[in-house]
Amino acid sequence: MKLRLSISFNILPGFLMACLLAATSAIAAIPNDDTTAPQQVQQAAVAERQLLVMLRMPAPHYRPDVSYGGSYKNDITEIARRRLAEELAGKYGLKVIDNWPMPALNINCYVMQAGEHISLEQAIRQLNQDPQIEWAQPLNTFTAQSTTQPALSPADAGLQGMQLVQKYWQLNDVHKLATGRNVLVAVIDSGIDTGHPDLQGQVPVRENFVDGNPYLPEIHGTGVAGIIAAHPDSKGITGVAPGARLMALRACWQEKNGSTSCNSFTLGKAINYAILNHAQVINLSLSGPDDPLLRKLIDLANARGIKVTGAVDSRKSDGGFPASHPAVFAVSNQPESGMPDKKILIAPGIDIPTTALHSRWNFVSGASYSTAHISGMMALLSELQPTIKPVKIRDGIIMRNRQDDDVRLSGNIDFCASMKQLSGRCACVCKKD
């Protein structure tokens, strides 16, 4: 897979541009990063006539002689729900394709396909009038908000001096006080290369929610993971929260053109898993249409104190979903985000060095990677204040005056002042109000 090198030299400080020129001059011939299997591409093309149908699950019953892990895999009522789903499908001219229990919401989610005799909109409208159905909705598509450049060979690493966030967030000092130690961050994304030297030992949980395909290491998920939690003991980069532990929840897949796609069903399964398995931060570096299933899951995550970050799509007037959700920390890499009614967090997201496939590193841009920075920030705050609520963080973040720095590079967050405001502790020279 060939990717165009489009580094924005005009916005880089002189010393950084010199380093970047030295690194990019040594770009080596590398293996093809296209890990997309043929069946994966076929699966990735979301059928235009598919929809989701939710059936209510019974409240879980706890038995002292049975271990309970939040799973309904052996639930005897599943047979009855499946029978009901088949009956409803027959009644409305649909076909049951797949299903997944989501005990976080006490629902069972069925993927169904509409026949040619009925429009998708009409099928959803009829299903939503049936009292046996909780709700029905489209199977929406989501995409990552990112661009990626050619990978650097291992010999070209040593990129810590080029990490803007290290300078602007004073992370060398911050890490003396907090590293996000043992905070669980759910990276709901494409596959993460857990064997990368910067990520070895950082990913204790790895699950695949893309049906019909094995877990694959992919470009986008690997890049997001490195920004959040790359450990400092290799010659590559250091994550914002190197002490955090990542849940690599593969709900997205890499397309042949290098883009990253997901859908309501795969994302719903992954968010449900993250909630049930006690994630403290959920990173959603993606955007798409407003989605009822994901909205309800995010509501639940927020109610449980989980910090959810989402990438802004600046092409959409509302910033896209999930960034538009009131409980989500909406993150962009540029001041013009298209969301005038919401507090937007701007974080470094232009020509950012991060982890790539085959033990290499990339320069990446986009709100996806700005979102990863904020997820790392949430992990640091979660270590300092484990019970801190998302709403308190939102109210306590101190924004930097735009005249102080170039927002395109440094973002609009005074991180040290925010950390002191939210935790009462400061490891660096905090700016005075």
Which of these is catalytic: 234, 261, 368, 382? 368
Q: What is the Cβ-side half-sphere exposure of residue 230, based on CA atoms within 13 angstroms?
A: 33
Which residue has tokens 């997001």? 224
Dihedral sign for Cα 110, 115, 120, 125, please: negative
Those residues whose C-beta lies under 8 Å from the C-beta of residue 351, and which sit 6 or more positions away, are 7, 8, 12, 20, 149, 363, 364, 365
Which of these is catalytic: 33, 156, 189, 414? 189
On the 0-12 / 13-18 / 19+ scale of CB atoms within 10 A, 386 is exposed
Q: Which of 65, 119, 68, 67 is nearest to 92 (CA)?
A: 119
Q: Is the dihedral of CA 18, 19, 22, 24 positive or negative?
A: negative
Show the tokens assigned to 124. 């959803």
Tokens found for residue 418: 């925010």
Q: Which of 175, 196, 220, 231 is catalytic?
A: 220
Q: Is 173 noted as a catalytic residue in this protein?
A: no
Active site residue 220: yes
The DSSP annotation for 19-83 comes to HHHHHHTTPPP--------HHHHHHHS--TTEEEEEEEPPPP---TTS---S--TT-THHHHHHH
Strand partners, 409: none
Pairing of strands 252-254, 260-263: antiparallel
Q: In what order do the strands lie in the sheet with 352-356?
A: 147-148, 360-365, 352-356
414 noted as active-site residue:
no
- Pick the closest to residue 173 from 432, 429, 431 (CA basis): 429
242 preceded by cis ω (within 30°)? no
Query: Would you please indicate which residues are annotated as catalytic (active-site) residues?
Result: 189, 220, 368
